[in-house]
Amino acid sequence: MIEVLLVQASLSRLASRTGVRPAAATLLAVALAAVTLGPAASPAAAATIPAGAGSYTDSRPAGTQGPTTNTGAPVTPKVTAAARNNPVPTNDWWSSLAFQRYGDNPYSTPMYGHPLTYQAKASGLEVGYPTTPAIVGDGRQYEYAHKADLTVGLTGLNSPDTKADAWSDWTVTPYWADGSRTFRATIGHGMPFVYAKGSGGDARITTASTPTVFANQGNVVGITVAGHHYALFAPTGSNWNISGTTITAGLGSKDYFSLAVLPSTDALATYRKYAYSFVTGSKVAWQTTGGNVRATYTLTTEAREGTERGTLQALYRHQWLHTSDALTPYTYVSPRGTMKVRESASFTTSQKSQGVVPALPVSSGVDKTRLTGYLNEVANASDPFSGARDTYWTGKALGKLAQLVPIADQIGQTAVRDKLLGLMKGRMQEWFTAGGASEFSYDKDWKTLTGYPASYGSDTELNDHHFHYSYYVYAAAIVAQYDQAWAADSAWGTMVKHLIRDTANPSRTDSAYPFLRGFDIYAGHSWASGHQGFAAGNNQESSSESINLSAGLVLWGSAMGDNSLRDLGSYLLTTESEAITQYWFDANEQVFPSSFRHDTVGMVWGSGGAYATWWTANPEEIHGINVLPVTGGSLHLAREKAAIKRNLAEMVRENGGPAQEWRDLLWEFEALADPAAAKSKWDGANGNYTPEEGESKAHTYHWVNTLNAVGAPDMTITGDIPTSAVFSKNGTRTYTAHNHGSTARTVTFSDGKTLSVPARSQAVGTGPGGSTPDPDPDPDPGTPSTGNTFRLKTGGVLTTATTDPSGADTIASADGVNRDGTPYRPTVYEIKKVNGKVSSGAATAFRLRVDAGTKVGLAPQVRVSYDLTGDGTFDRTETFRYFATDPVNGWEEYTQAVGAQATTGSLGELKNGTVRLEIWNALGNGTSQVQTGTDAAVLRIPYQ
């Protein structure tokens, strides 16, 4: 169970990566001394490899360790000879195949591919499909733990180990051999199939209990085990023989067979069509243009029989929310919510890119004198790095200083700016030069660069490289913004690029580092463990530190003119942002099991999630660990303002009152949804608090007061460069963009606003639009992210997604006839399979923006209908009075405040029900428009 794993892992780490209390700090010091993580000189045999002005070594400093088993024995990648020269993508969902962390387990720990789960053993591959969550750890964890329904292999197979034989972006092929038999099974994220190849024995399926056979077509058999339906596919001409819990088929001259988990027994014919179209690889391609990120996910296949080359893929929630590709009615259960099936070898997602800015815009809310005082406190500290020695804590200190550089520049404190830059350069140059007390060392076996002194298993377990190095990349990007010569390849840029290649390598052909080491392309987020040696799969705690790396890539790529790295950063950030929204914060309340009583998790596991951290059960850290560090890359969190409010309300409940230890982080988090409330808390503290280790009073003061002045981020609007952002307050939008280029440019925003930005500068402009942030923690129709609030989406859809592109739909003419109260050629928006209980005292609410242009006498009218059981009959209809538009170009707001005209039927519990909104012109002779995809195109239903 996760609970047990957390205890074990807490003992190994001993302290927080992000803030150590006094007692814990003592423990940490003892732990570091015990494993000799102090500075050590390189042994004489070590070679120093130049890297621009910097260097690294090709062997570890004396007295330190590299990857080991849990007993401390050195370990090398567990891969076949065919894969030996390929960099192993550690920190993946299947890493335990290649990293034997536990010396007594040469196979694997459970691997969570979703919908299927897997575990290698001597006789083959266990396969399971967990569909019922367990709530463990005093209600603080939920998990869909691996439990084998069946094991797939060959008759007689008894392999001494399992190795990784091949891998691609989200698939892997484990390999077994026992001297007489060889066996391979290709598995992957979103794959309902297992594609098997073997020699030396018959195909063998061993079931966990006696199966029920629902179809037997010779070489194709349908069975039910533990309530789950599977199809087994042998080569044509073979027959499956069923004897108790053992099912075998002779392969003859063939070497292949497959199996699939079925969403229902009647899906057998569809799945049979693709049973012999074997997946051989997977690949993502991304493109960032004009404020939009598109990604295409493609499986390569080969036809083992016939000519079919298609396949079936199960999309995660963060994917199907953002695709317009056709999906089948088939679905699967997973720890990430419902997975939906696509009948194709590829699909494409499209999302608004999430902007990153070096600093929030200049505003009237900041007192320059007060801010200067706070800046000097950091710049003039006796030790601005607070005693940091290892990669993580040094990184935290670099990150703290990096946030202050553009702020100091913004208010004209160039001396402070340059002093901070000098501190950052000096410390990074120490790390980027081999032979001193701190250095980086390359491991040729694992194809990784590790910083020493290491911490939290970054050396022995290859943990957290993307967390640690994110701060260096971000800090280097800020330095590059002001000093490109320092960042040049001939100077220190080559070492920065080594850190990027180690953590987020964009190349699949680089022999020195794996492609995107920590980022799980299909899962949509990164993994922190290098070995994945847990019963619950891999895990990630601080998703925000993963975002910090993506934001650093955006800024580094922009500063250095490397659009490829910039766009990679945009793809990673935008993709992981949606994963965080859904899987850490459950913003739409559609992922966590109903039996799980928390609104957020501190850690996501392959099997589920935990309201916990590695080092403490303190709610402040549980809620804050996925916020820090707060930077210009944190703005993406503001897409789900209601979720932020719900998150913080839970923190107060669990904490028994407001935050005390990490109050600054949580004020900054709150400012993304309700700046006025955050400022009130800042003002109440009056500077009398201790900042979180990676924070400063200067940054928190600037962040909270700037957002109070310009408003919370308006995520409905994007700029056509990734270094731009928009904020809204009291009907006014503030636009900002940073131009890292050497010539002036015009940035165009998706609402039509343009901003002229001089070379190597930030510009700020204002314009009409936006809405006042709602101080009430209960969401209103303008904060559409809860389970009962839906946006209108072009195409006739009501959706809880908040990242669809903004647009407008046409409302047909009334053709000169009075249509008051009776829908006439309505524009219809609908959502099905809705479940909910009536909320006492609540009522249907909507907020729409409509425009008739210069047409006279038009009157859009709305009816909302509820089909409680989804049987096609609407049990309740509510028709609202029409809204008389003016004959002037420009959007006008139409809400439920006009009042109800007619109501029929009664509300009741929604059980797979349907909700429909119709809008039509009740009067006039001309068309009008209604906005879609914005926070002013929403319907809220009176349901929990």
- Using a 10 angstrom Cβ sphere, with 0-12 exposed, 13-18 middle and 19 or more buried, the burial of residue 294 is middle
Describe the chain by its helix, strand, coil percentages, rounded to 5.
25, 30, 45
The rounded distance, in Å, linking the Cα atoms of 132 and 581 is 23
| Whole-number Å distance between alpha carbons of 529 and 540 | 7
- Determine the Cα–Cα distance for residues 423 and 418; give it in Å rounded to an integer: 9
Tell me the CA distances in angstroms from 247 to 244, 263, 364, one per residue in order: 8, 21, 74
For helices 391-410 and 368-379, the axis angle rounded to 10 degrees is 150
664 catalytic, yes or no? no
Amino acid identity of residue 939, one-letter, is L
C-alpha separations of 878 from 184, 376, 843, 874, 923 in Å: 59, 61, 10, 11, 19
Q: Give 612-660 as a DSSP string.
A: --SS---HHHHHHTTTPSPSTTGGGGGG-HHHHHHHHHHHHHHHTSS-S
Burial class (CB within 10 angstroms; exposed 0-12, middle 13-18, buried 19+) of 168: buried
E strand intervals along 696-752: 712-713, 724-729, 732-739, 745-748
Tokens for 487? 């960042």
Tokens representing 839 are: 């909320």
Within 656-710, residue ranges assigned H as helices are 663-671, 675-685, 697-710
Q: Does residue 632 contact residue 702 with C-beta atoms inside 8 Å?
A: no
Q: Residue 419 in 3-state DSSP?
A: helix
Classify 176 as helix, strand or coil.
strand
- Determine the Cα–Cα distance for residues 57 and 85; give it in Å rounded to an integer: 20
Separation between Cα atoms, residue 395 and residue 398, nearest integer Å: 5
Rounded to an integer, what distance in angstroms lies between the CA atom of residue 497 and that of residue 432? 11
Task: Check 149, 390, 545, 809 and give the catalytic one.
Answer: 545
The DSSP call for residue 566 is: H
Q: What are 679's two structure tokens?
A: 């400022």
Q: Which of 149, 165, 541, 650 is catalytic?
A: 541
In degrees, rounded to 5, the angle at the alpha carbon of residue 902 between the alpha carbons of residues 901 and 905 is 155
Q: Determine the Cα–Cα distance for residues 345 and 198; give it in Å rounded to an integer.
A: 25
DSSP 33-50: HHTT-S--PPPTT--EEE
**Cα angle 79-85-87, degrees, rounded to a multiple of 5:** 80
- The CA-based dihedral angle spanning residues 550, 556, 558, 563, taken in that order and rounded to the nearest 10 degrees: -70
What residues pair up with 849 in beta bridges, in sequence order?
893
Report which residue type is found at 905: G
First to last CA, the chain: 31
Is 541 designated active site? yes
Residues 6 or more apart whose CB falls under 8 angstroms from that of 862 comprise 846, 848, 879, 880, 894, 917, 918, 919
- Strand 193-199 vs strand 256-262: parallel, antiparallel, or unpaired? antiparallel
Concerning whether 143 is annotated as a catalytic residue, the answer is no
Choosing from 92, 143, 178, 464, the catalytic residue is 464
CB 85 within 8 A of CB 93: no
Residue 316, Cβ density class (10 Å: 0-12 exposed, 13-18 middle, ≥19 buried): buried
- Residues marked as catalytic: 464, 541, 545
